[in-house]
Structure 1
Amino acid sequence: MSAPTYTAAMDEALGRLTHIGFDQGGRFASHAPMAAEALAALGFTDAVSDWVEWSKTARRYSSEPTPTARIDVGDESAWRSCLGRYRRAADWAATFETQISEHGWHEVLITWWPRLVPGLSGALTHGLIRTAHAVRGVSATPEPTPLQLRELAHGLGYWAAVYTPLGTGLLGRRRPAAAADIRTDVIDSALSDLTARNAGIYASSTMSHPVPLVHTITAPSAVRLVLEHLPTDQHAPSYLAVLQASEALLARFGTRGMGCPDGTPTEPEPAHLRLDLLAAEAAQLRDEHAIKLAEAASREYAVRNDIRYLSASWALMERLKRF
């Protein structure tokens, strides 16, 4: 039997995940839809179904919440007052399902992306990341399935519910330039600079928990996934927002054991690194962050042939095995 297509694998996975809520373990973002999509994108479509069933057993997911009240997206003061209110997550998801049904996924994306980007740091950037994985899903086919569209609505809904405005002057750091000062033709290169630096920092540092700093790589990489679907005037603000979020994460979680602040890799040795082996190792390990980082690292490596991406992915998996 041949392996299922990406869309078929994801439709089956999303169908099996419709009952789960927005969090796992009581306080962490539900990673199942994101990891399943990353696994499919890595080419392991035949492993997605089994991974989902394993995840449902191994992780403690909340139940899918029920919407309680309508959010009036036509009244800016009304919907803005609902941003960052986690108890309204189901209301936000239902709202986006309606909006996508009425206006199409792309119109909803370009309307709401700039509204949500200022709050992308909430929940360790998982609203942004889940949305980006869903965008890749709906854009992979001329006719997205209802489950794919639902997942995009839930990604946007979760993002709106955990919306947390980015601070300025993060822990004394100089504020990045304004969006108007960033040329749109250098955004791709700037994202590579950011992800490669952060990957090098991750690979060469020690930390009490292996996961938080992973998002300094996966969040900018998630922005890259979506840029092609956005107007160019949204590119620079998106880059600057994820840059600030990355700096905040480094300031909060990377102050101890920062082995190499300039991001130069020191270990593991390049001989240990092969893209195909890293992806297979992540799939076998089954950990959500290992899968997501392996996918992001593979994609970033394809843009810029920098060993730091592979070093970070390998380092995460080794740390997870010991954690």
Structure 2
Amino acid sequence: MDDTTGTLDEALERLHLSGPERDGWLSNHAPMAVEALVRHGQAPTVHRWLDHYGAKLEDMPDTFTPVTAVNWREALGDPRRIADWTAYFGRETAERPWRDVLAEWWPRLLPGIAAGATHPAIRVGHSVRTLLEGEATAPRVRELAHGLGYWAARHQPLPGLAHLAPAPSAAAALEAVPAVAEQSGGILVRLGQLTAFPRWPERPPAGPDAARAALEELVRASTHRYATHGHGEPIMLVHAATAPNAVLRTLPALPRELWAPSLAGAWAASAAVTAAYTPAGPARFTPAATTAEELFERAAAHGNDHTIKFTDTALDIGDETALAAALRSIELNPPAL
């Protein structure tokens, strides 16, 4: 996608005046949502959508202490350093090719993919998709810096996890993920209860292409699962699909030796969200009975940022169950417009 309207760059410049969070920890979803809107032909709606969303935005926090090549380890995972990390990656991406910065930092950040309920990783995935498919304009490169900075500041490794029995498929693995014992409280409380995940894939992937194929399978399975299980927590469970899809979108920009570790990180993120919010049982769903284009128009009119992003992921899959899952997100999540 290359936005010939200029809307995406305008929106990003507008958004870069704001921080990545509000109310202390809730994520700013606007950069991700506007990228999806523009990609799917909804550029004329973007500024109106932003006018509505703008009430949720907060200024970038004050700087604390500059992040450097010497002190970055002590700053990793320190949310007080959001502005410092954003400035650091702004300098890095201004001085070096963005792919080089991403390749250096991806393995450092990947173990903390649960950061910010996976939103920083998802923001990076939207940014990388834009850079790969269009011109690397200054606002788009800055958007990558904002995403990486947010991820570094909120970096949050999962607790040490044991392996359960191997699962033969991504769908079976998600089905076998044990729910956390206490299904209440915020995501940090829930993630702190994780103890074990099924082993998936059953065997390590035989090379980068096999890792990519397995990641595609995971995105498909987690998207399909939302159709039957999204009612467990309609907003949070979209991340079980959008987080691994963000990793999948990033793979082409990464060295191939990072593809297998990326699969492992994506599986950990999807399984963690599934464990934290899985319902007691599945529900029936209705086929979408519409085209992909019409479905995204409905999501855009609905206006909910999570619905827009999940529908964007569902359209990447594009099959009947994925479209039904997107329709389910429109039905379950509260409209924002």
TM-score normalised to the size of structure 2?
0.83
Counterpart of 1:190 in structure 2: which amino acid?
A
Counterpart of 1:313 in structure 2: which amino acid?
A
After TM superposition, list the pairs within 5 Å mapping 1:51-66 onto structure 2: 51-57=49-55, 60-66=56-62
State the Cα distance separating 1:16 from its structure 2 match.
Answer: 1.7
Indicate whether 1:284 and 2:307 are aligned.
Answer: no
Indicate whether 1:133 and 2:129 are aligned.
Answer: no
Superposition CA RMSD, Å = 2.2
Match of 1:258 in 2: 281
- In the alignment, the residues of structure 1 paired with residue 108 and residue 150 of structure 2 have an alpha-carbon distance, to the nearest angstrom, of 14
Query: How big is each residue's C-alpha offset from its partner over 1:20-52, in whole Å with a ceiling of 9 and x where there is no partner?
Result: 111134431100111011111112122212211
More deviation, 97-106/5-14: 5-14
Q: 1:28 to 1:212 in 2, by over 3 A?
A: same
Query: How big is each residue's C-alpha offset from its partner over 1:86-144, in whole Å with a ceiling of 9 and x where there is no partner?
Result: 110110000000111111211101111111111111111111111111112233334x2
Match of 2:292 among 249, 263, 275: 275
Structure 2: 5+ residue runs without aligned partners? 163-193
State the Cα distance separating 1:217 from its structure 2 match.
Answer: 0.7
Match of 2:97 in 1: 104
Match of 1:9 in 2: 7
State the Cα distance separating 1:206 from its structure 2 match.
Answer: 5.6
Task: Report if the CA contact (8 A) 1:207-1:257 is conserved.
Answer: no
Sequence identity (%)? 34
Match of 1:195 in 2: 219
More deviation, 98-107/4-13: 4-13
Query: How big is each residue's C-alpha offset from its partner over 1:128-177, in whole Å with a ceiling of 9 and x where there is no partner?
Result: 111111112233334x2222121110100000011111332243333446
Q: 1:117 to 1:29 in 2, by over 3 A?
A: same
Match of 1:220 in 2: 244
Q: How many residues align?
A: 303
Counterpart of 2:44 in structure 1: which amino acid?
D
Q: 1:317 to 1:67 in 2, by over 3 A?
A: same
After TM superposition, list the pairs within 5 Å mapping 1:17-166 onto structure 2: 17-57=15-55, 60-73=56-69, 75=70, 78-142=71-135, 144-166=136-158
Task: Report if the CA contact (8 A) 1:206-1:257 is conserved.
Answer: no
Task: Report if the CA contact (8 A) 1:83-1:163 is conserved.
Answer: yes
- In the alignment, the residues of structure 2 paired with residue 87 and residue 283 of structure 1 have an alpha-carbon distance, to the nearest angstrom, of 34
* 4+ long deviations beyond 6 Å: none
Match of 1:171 in 2: 195
State the Cα distance separating 1:6 from its structure 2 match.
Answer: 5.1
Task: Report if the CA contact (8 A) 1:70-1:91 is conserved.
Answer: yes
Q: 1:68 to 1:171 in 2, by over 3 A?
A: closer
State the Cα distance separating 1:179 from its structure 2 match.
Answer: 9.2
Match of 1:207 among 231, 238, 250: 231
Q: 1:200 to 1:232 in 2, by over 3 A?
A: same
Counterpart of 2:304 in structure 1: which amino acid?
D
State the Cα distance separating 1:212 from its structure 2 match.
Answer: 0.7
- In the alignment, the residues of structure 2 paired with residue 6 and residue 218 of structure 1 have an alpha-carbon distance, to the nearest angstrom, of 26
Counterpart of 2:314 in structure 1: which amino acid?
A
More deviation, 149-158/166-175: 166-175
- In the alignment, the residues of structure 2 paired with residue 139 and residue 94 of structure 1 have an alpha-carbon distance, to the nearest angstrom, of 23
Match of 1:310 in 2: 323
- In the alignment, the residues of structure 2 paired with residue 182 and residue 243 of structure 1 have an alpha-carbon distance, to the nearest angstrom, of 17
Task: Report if the CA contact (8 A) 2:118-2:243 is conserved.
Answer: yes
Q: 1:64 to 1:178 in 2, by over 3 A?
A: farther
- In the alignment, the residues of structure 1 paired with residue 58 and residue 281 of structure 2 have an alpha-carbon distance, to the nearest angstrom, of 35
SS at match of 2:20: strand
SS at match of 2:218: helix
Structure 1: 5+ residue runs without aligned partners? 261-265
- In the alignment, the residues of structure 1 paired with residue 83 and residue 333 of structure 2 have an alpha-carbon distance, to the nearest angstrom, of 32
SS at match of 2:157: coil
Task: Report if the CA contact (8 A) 2:296-2:312 is conserved.
Answer: yes
Task: Report if the CA contact (8 A) 1:179-1:237 is conserved.
Answer: no
Indicate whether 1:230 and 2:254 are aligned.
Answer: yes
Q: 1:121 to 1:317 in 2, by over 3 A?
A: same
- In the alignment, the residues of structure 2 paired with residue 81 and residue 66 of structure 1 have an alpha-carbon distance, to the nearest angstrom, of 18
SS at match of 2:143: helix
TM-score normalised to the size of structure 1?
0.87
State the Cα distance separating 1:65 from its structure 2 match.
Answer: 1.8
Task: Report if the CA contact (8 A) 2:113-2:269 is conserved.
Answer: yes
